[in-house]
Amino acid sequence: MKSMWKQAGIMGAALAASRPALAEWAFNLQTPASEVAEHVFQLHNLIMLVCLGIFVVVFGAMFYSLFKHRKSVGHKAAHFHENTTVEVIWTVIPFVILMGMAYPAAKVVIDMKDTKNPDMTVKITGYQWKWGYDYLNDGISFYSNLSTPREQINGTSAKGEHYLLEVDEPMVVPVGKRVRLLITANDVLHSWWVPALGAKQDAIPGFIRDSWFKADKIGTYRGQCVELCGKDHGFMPIVVEVVSEEDYKAWVAKKKGTAQVAAADDSKTFEVAELVERGEKVYQANCAACHQANGMGLPGAFPAINGSKVATGPIADHIAVVMNGRPGTAMAAFAGQLSDADIAAVVTYQRNAWDNKMGDAAQPAEIAAARGGAAEAAAPAAQ
């Protein structure tokens, strides 16, 4: 029996092997790039073949009957309507077929749930609407945003090859290593999925769930958030670059270098113009999805910043809203997401952009001070 299943799996794989010729017309799961994805792929092929077989037999009989047992060809109705033997047979046979499916499926379930003995661990956090990656072994942290330009989405420029499936900072992992994923979320539910790696796990705020993959081949693998997470659910892709061990080490060294430069910024004092220039970039990456590039928000859903009480009121309250968010709304707390320099920059930008001509500036030191007194700062934000 076992070899029968194996054969069916191979047949399915052979059917699937004709896929490259179809390129854009993919009829099956993506080409697996990990052992788990490979198992899932074969399991799916096997079950499809069994279903196809049953379908042909049952509906072969039905369509035979539709053509032969019709009044217009003069067929007279028989009157049988009960047969216990037949009923028992067609209850038992499906049951046996299901048992045959359950066994290989259970093996894959147990394999997928086994996250023991990883070579490295990455914590992944879902945000509205981007992913955060923390490499727990190497001490690297970064955010990964959609990098497809807005013009392509709005149709004012031609769409690129990886439209909506490209990010500014991909997740990078070495080939052939067991990567354990600790997945959580910051605001609402998200779900992290890379089809070719066979890993999908919902990201749940307040809880950490784990998953794993081991990429077999060097390459770039793309996926998307698959749990509805609000307005830009369709715009938070995942890109995993699987590289050689040496390339991975080089990447880690480079990331650590940039982190040091960024940390140095937090102890500087900037000119207003510098902060506005830097803040505009931070605003585009983190704020513009809701509050819009023109600062006008979306009426009813997301408030305007242009002319708002917060952006034209006391600067300490403004900083508090950006850092602590507004609980119960889509406004996230950015204290944990952005550096002191970036928060200072984006607050300064918001107070000086569009019609907001406040002329004042927040400095990284003020943000650092606010971090120290986070409890007091939370009070005005909660109003």
The footprint of another protein on residues 173-232 (CB under 8 A) is 183, 187-189, 191, 193, 195, 198, 200-202, 204-207, 209-211, 222-232
Nearer to another protein, 238 or 362 (CB): 238
Exposed, middle or buried by CB within 10 Å (0-12, 13-18, 19+), for 94?
Answer: exposed
**Long-range Cβ contact pairs of 68-72 (< 8 A, separation 24 or more):** none
Q: Determine the interface stretch with another protein among 81-89, 259-267, 335-343, 363-371 (rule: CB under 8 A).
A: 81-89
Nearer to another protein, 83 or 383 (CB): 83
Q: Does 142 bind another protein (CB under 8 A)?
A: no
Nearer to another protein, 130 or 278 (CB): 130
Shortest Å, Cβ 270 to another protein: 34
Residues 101-140, mask of contacts with another protein (x by CB under 8 A) = xx--xx-xxx-xx---------------------------
| Burial 311-350, CB ≥16 within 10 A → b, else e | bbeebebbbbbbbbbeeeebbbbbbebbbbbbbbbbbbbb
Site for another protein in 154-173 (CB under 8 A): 154-155, 159, 161-165
Q: Does 87 bind another protein (CB under 8 A)?
A: yes
Which two tokens mark 343? 């928060």
Which two tokens mark 267? 């102890």
Nearer to another protein, 184 or 350 (CB): 184
Q: Determine the interface stretch with another protein among 44-52, 277-285, 317-325, 360-368 (rule: CB under 8 A).
A: 44-52
Site for another protein in 298-357 (CB under 8 A): 298-301, 328-330
Alpha-carbon distance of 265 to 15, in angstroms, equals 56
Q: Does 149 bind another protein (CB under 8 A)?
A: no
Q: Does 20 bind another protein (CB under 8 A)?
A: no
Helix (H, G, I), strand (E, B) or coil at 280: helix
Whole-Å CA distances, 63 to 48, 53, 73, 86, 271? 21, 15, 15, 20, 80
Instruction: Give the H or E element holding residue 49.
Output: helix 35-68
